Structure 1
Protein backbone atom coordinates (compact mmCIF):
# COMPACT_ATOMS: atom_id res chain seq x y z
CA UNK A 1 0.00 0.00 0.00
CA UNK A 2 1.42 3.40 -0.93
CA UNK A 3 1.75 6.13 1.65
CA UNK A 4 -0.63 9.10 1.25
CA UNK A 5 1.14 12.21 0.08
CA UNK A 6 1.42 14.75 2.86
CA UNK A 7 3.37 17.99 3.00
CA UNK A 8 5.97 16.33 5.21
CA UNK A 9 6.36 13.34 2.88
CA UNK A 10 6.59 15.57 -0.18
CA UNK A 11 9.15 17.84 1.48
CA UNK A 12 11.23 14.86 2.61
CA UNK A 13 11.20 13.40 -0.91
CA UNK A 14 12.18 16.78 -2.35
CA UNK A 15 15.13 16.91 0.03
CA UNK A 16 16.19 13.42 -1.06
CA UNK A 17 15.96 14.34 -4.75
CA UNK A 18 17.94 17.54 -4.19
CA UNK A 19 20.61 15.64 -2.29
CA UNK A 20 20.88 13.00 -5.03
CA UNK A 21 21.28 15.70 -7.67
CA UNK A 22 23.79 17.69 -5.59
CA UNK A 23 25.84 14.56 -4.84
CA UNK A 24 25.61 13.60 -8.53
CA UNK A 25 24.27 10.15 -7.66
CA UNK A 26 21.42 10.42 -10.18
CA UNK A 27 22.20 8.86 -13.52
CA UNK A 28 21.63 10.97 -16.60
CA UNK A 29 18.95 8.48 -17.64
CA UNK A 30 16.92 9.22 -14.49
CA UNK A 31 17.64 12.94 -14.14
CA UNK A 32 14.66 14.16 -16.19
CA UNK A 33 12.35 11.82 -14.26
CA UNK A 34 13.66 13.12 -10.92
CA UNK A 35 13.26 16.75 -12.03
CA UNK A 36 9.67 16.08 -13.17
CA UNK A 37 8.88 14.45 -9.81
CA UNK A 38 10.47 17.38 -7.98
CA UNK A 39 8.34 19.84 -9.97
CA UNK A 40 5.20 17.90 -9.05
CA UNK A 41 6.20 17.83 -5.38
CA UNK A 42 6.97 21.56 -5.36
CA UNK A 43 3.56 22.30 -6.84
CA UNK A 44 1.89 20.07 -4.25
CA UNK A 45 3.73 21.80 -1.39
CA UNK A 46 2.88 25.26 -2.71
CA UNK A 47 -0.81 24.34 -2.92
CA UNK A 48 -0.75 22.94 0.61
CA UNK A 49 0.92 26.07 1.97
CA UNK A 50 -1.56 28.37 0.19
CA UNK A 51 -4.53 26.36 1.48
CA UNK A 52 -3.15 26.40 5.01
CA UNK A 53 -2.48 30.14 4.85
CA UNK A 54 -6.06 30.76 3.68
CA UNK A 55 -7.46 28.58 6.45
CA UNK A 56 -5.36 30.25 9.14
CA UNK A 57 -6.33 33.71 7.86
CA UNK A 58 -10.01 32.71 7.96
CA UNK A 59 -9.67 31.49 11.54
CA UNK A 60 -7.93 34.72 12.57
CA UNK A 61 -10.62 36.76 10.82
CA UNK A 62 -13.33 34.81 12.64
CA UNK A 63 -11.58 35.38 15.95
CA UNK A 64 -11.35 39.13 15.26
CA UNK A 65 -15.04 39.42 14.37
CA UNK A 66 -16.02 37.37 17.42
CA UNK A 67 -14.56 39.89 19.87
Structure 2
Protein backbone atom coordinates (compact mmCIF):
# COMPACT_ATOMS: atom_id res chain seq x y z
CA UNK A 1 0.00 0.00 0.00
CA UNK A 2 1.09 3.52 -0.59
CA UNK A 3 2.31 5.93 2.04
CA UNK A 4 -0.65 8.15 1.14
CA UNK A 5 -2.97 5.46 2.46
CA UNK A 6 -6.25 6.77 3.78
CA UNK A 7 -6.99 6.63 7.51
CA UNK A 8 -9.95 4.30 7.03
CA UNK A 9 -7.92 1.86 4.94
CA UNK A 10 -5.05 1.88 7.44
CA UNK A 11 -7.41 1.43 10.38
CA UNK A 12 -9.26 -1.45 8.72
CA UNK A 13 -6.01 -3.21 7.88
CA UNK A 14 -4.82 -2.70 11.44
CA UNK A 15 -8.08 -4.18 12.79
CA UNK A 16 -7.62 -7.20 10.51
CA UNK A 17 -4.09 -7.79 11.79
CA UNK A 18 -5.23 -7.51 15.42
CA UNK A 19 -8.08 -9.93 14.75
CA UNK A 20 -5.73 -12.43 13.11
CA UNK A 21 -3.36 -12.24 16.08
CA UNK A 22 -6.19 -12.55 18.64
CA UNK A 23 -7.63 -15.61 16.89
CA UNK A 24 -4.27 -17.29 16.37
CA UNK A 25 -4.55 -17.07 12.59
CA UNK A 26 -0.95 -15.93 12.17
CA UNK A 27 1.95 -18.31 12.26
CA UNK A 28 4.98 -17.56 14.36
CA UNK A 29 6.86 -16.99 11.11
CA UNK A 30 4.43 -14.24 10.07
CA UNK A 31 4.05 -12.61 13.48
CA UNK A 32 7.09 -10.34 13.27
CA UNK A 33 6.12 -9.12 9.80
CA UNK A 34 2.53 -8.43 10.91
CA UNK A 35 3.66 -6.55 14.02
CA UNK A 36 5.99 -4.40 11.90
CA UNK A 37 3.15 -3.64 9.48
CA UNK A 38 0.84 -2.80 12.41
CA UNK A 39 3.44 -0.32 13.66
CA UNK A 40 3.46 1.43 10.27
CA UNK A 41 -0.34 1.53 10.24
CA UNK A 42 -0.49 2.99 13.75
CA UNK A 43 1.91 5.75 12.67
CA UNK A 44 -0.26 6.51 9.61
CA UNK A 45 -3.40 6.70 11.74
CA UNK A 46 -1.74 8.83 14.41
CA UNK A 47 -0.38 11.27 11.82
CA UNK A 48 -3.75 11.60 10.09
CA UNK A 49 -5.55 12.17 13.39
CA UNK A 50 -3.03 14.79 14.48
CA UNK A 51 -3.27 16.60 11.16
CA UNK A 52 -7.06 16.53 11.24
CA UNK A 53 -7.14 17.81 14.81
CA UNK A 54 -4.87 20.72 13.88
CA UNK A 55 -7.01 21.53 10.84
CA UNK A 56 -10.24 21.50 12.85
CA UNK A 57 -8.68 23.65 15.58
CA UNK A 58 -7.56 26.18 12.98
CA UNK A 59 -11.03 26.28 11.40
CA UNK A 60 -12.70 26.77 14.77
CA UNK A 61 -10.23 29.52 15.65
CA UNK A 62 -11.00 31.30 12.37
CA UNK A 63 -14.74 31.04 13.06
CA UNK A 64 -14.29 32.71 16.46
CA UNK A 65 -12.62 35.75 14.89
TM over 0.5: yes
User: Deviation of residue 54 (structure 1)?
Assistant: 0.1
> TM-score w.r.t. structure 2 length?
0.93
Query: What value does the CA root-mean-square deviation take over the aligned residues?
Result: 1.2
User: Deviation of residue 34 (structure 1)?
Assistant: 0.1
> TM-score w.r.t. structure 1 length?
0.91
Distance 1:58 1:38 in 2: 30
What residue in structure 2 maps to residue 31 of structure 1?
31
Counterpart secondary structure, 1:26: coil
| Structure 1 unmatched runs, 5+ | none
What residue in structure 2 maps to residue 10 of structure 1?
10
What residue in structure 2 maps to residue 51 of structure 1?
51
Superposed structure 1 runs of 4+ greater than 3 Å apart: none
User: Deviation of residue 28 (structure 1)?
Assistant: 0.4
| Structure 2 unmatched runs, 5+ | none
Distance 2:15 2:32 in 1: 16
User: Deviation of residue 5 (structure 1)?
Assistant: 1.2
Structure of greater Rg: 1
